[in-house]
Amino acid sequence: MVVKNINEEFETINEELRQTNERLYSAKEQAEESDRLKTAFLQNMSHEIRTPMNAIMGFTSLLVKQYNNKPKLEKFSVIINQRCNDLLDIINDILDIAKIESGLIPVNLEACDLNEVFAFLKTFFSEQQKRLGKEHIEFNLHASCLPQDLVITSDKVKLNQIFINLIGNAFKFTETGKIEGGCKFDSNNKLIFYVSDTGIGIPIDKQKKVFERFSQLNLGENKLVSGTGLGLSIVKGLVSLLGGEVWLESELNKGSTFYFSIPYQLSESVNSQNVIPDEKNEYHFTNKTILIVEDDLFNAEFLSEILSETDAHVLRVTNGRDAVQISLNQEIDLILMDIRLPDINGYETTQIIRRQNPKIKIIAQTAYASNGERQIAINAGCNDYISKPTDQGKLMSMISKYLNV
């Protein structure tokens, strides 16, 4: 009897050890897979960053040698600009996934006209199609809803970002056929958004993994596809932030359809505040004084250069205290305020200036490009906000708006 009890105890201990070993082995495999994915991600990041950087540095060095050849200057400038945008996309992806995981992205609900969202996306991807050489692919966006159902309450910035990631992915993996998207109501009167393509499709065993960080489809050694492998995990994170869900249907070599839904709430009107006027080719700010507050020499030089053709009187300072001093002692019409300054930051500087001069126009400029940064700028007393890298046309249009010219 004693021996039997001892044997049973040993069997119990052995079973516990076996289960522990299985758990340890499983944890080891998961850790190794995580390390493998991170290593692959870092290697991919190195490639994705160095490739456009190579073109930027290479063609920049050629500009000086071709200063008398206008066609080549234009060609090189277009390439440099495209590759800079590629780098910016990579940086934005990395920052987005980091902010999503840390819970630092606020949800800004506002009136959102879905017709305007689709019109913006159509224009955006018309340019992308030219750049990608995929103008032969049919691309359509439409809403299968009544007009009165298309003005909803949501976060328009995040909604655009979700669609940009999904449509961008569709173009990446589609060589022929069509891409379409939009929204519709299902049988339960639930608003469903979708993006479908006639691309390569996704194998069933990979369909759950595509939403994981650093995940990329292996298309074979002859089909290299650029990207960070973060796009769909960003989509999943943003949809989750909006209180929704995302899923997909796909058939290998026939195409994929990605769906997502968010809580549906009608809005009474479209939020039209802070609409920027249409961009013009020429701007004239004669008799206007603009103060540039910027500690980076090259950024300040860039702003001075684009303002030099407007006949504006331009002043420059590199810190907040000098900005306060000049704005109190001179007639300034508008301030371009950098936020990260060497002494007091741009928001503190704005608040000090506002106490003395509540009517002066101040536009915040910052490389802090989070979704909530604009509201922070407004709360600090700025009239408006523009993120870096600075879109010249958008900035000039914004300046024109606040100078009323």
The band of 276, judged by pLDDT with boundaries at 50, 70 and 90, is very low
* Residues whose CB falls within 8 Å of the CB of residue 107, separated by 6 or more in sequence, listed in order: 155, 158, 241, 242
Q: For the segment 202-245, what is each residue's pLDDT rounded down to a tens digit?
A: 888 888 788 876 666 554 444 445 556 678 888 999 999 898 99
Helices assigned H by DSSP within 145-292: 156-172, 231-241
Q: Is the pLDDT of residue 369 over 70?
A: no
Name which of 285-299, 318-332, 358-372 the model is least confident about.
358-372
Q: For the segment 6-52, what is each residue's pLDDT rounded down to a tens digit?
A: 666 767 777 777 777 777 777 777 776 666 666 666 666 676 778 78
- Cβ atoms of 139 and 180 closer than 8 Å: yes
- Cβ atoms of 383 and 362 closer than 8 Å: yes
pLDDT of the residue at 109: 84
Q: Is the pLDDT of residue 363 over 90?
A: yes
Range 363-378 average pLDDT: 78
* Residues whose CB falls within 8 Å of the CB of residue 152, separated by 6 or more in sequence, listed in order: 111, 112, 114, 191, 264, 265, 266, 267
Number of neighbouring beta carbons within 10 Å of residue 302: 16
**Which amino acid, 41?**
F
**Which amino acid, 138?**
E
The percent of residues above 90 in pLDDT, for the chain, comes to 33
Helices assigned H by DSSP within 135-291: 156-172, 231-241
Range 44-63 average pLDDT: 80
Question: What average pLDDT does the chain have?
Answer: 83
Q: How far is CA 362 from the centre of its chain?
A: 25
pTM: 0.61
pLDDT of the residue at 214: 60
Name which of 139-143, 154-158, 273-277 the model is least confident about.
273-277
* Residues whose CB falls within 8 Å of the CB of residue 121, separated by 6 or more in sequence, listed in order: 141, 160, 163, 164, 167, 181
pLDDT of the residue at 223: 47
Range 348-358 average pLDDT: 92
Cα 263 from Cα 369, distance rounded (Å): 26
Range 143-168 average pLDDT: 86
Q: Which residue has the higher pLDDT, 78 or 146?
A: 78
pLDDT of the residue at 268: 61
pLDDT of the residue at 19: 77
- Cβ atoms of 225 and 216 closer than 8 Å: yes
- Cβ atoms of 267 and 226 closer than 8 Å: no
Q: Which residue has the higher pLDDT, 130 or 372?
A: 130
Q: For the segment 84-116, what is each residue's pLDDT rounded down to a tens digit?
A: 887 887 787 777 777 777 777 778 888 888 988
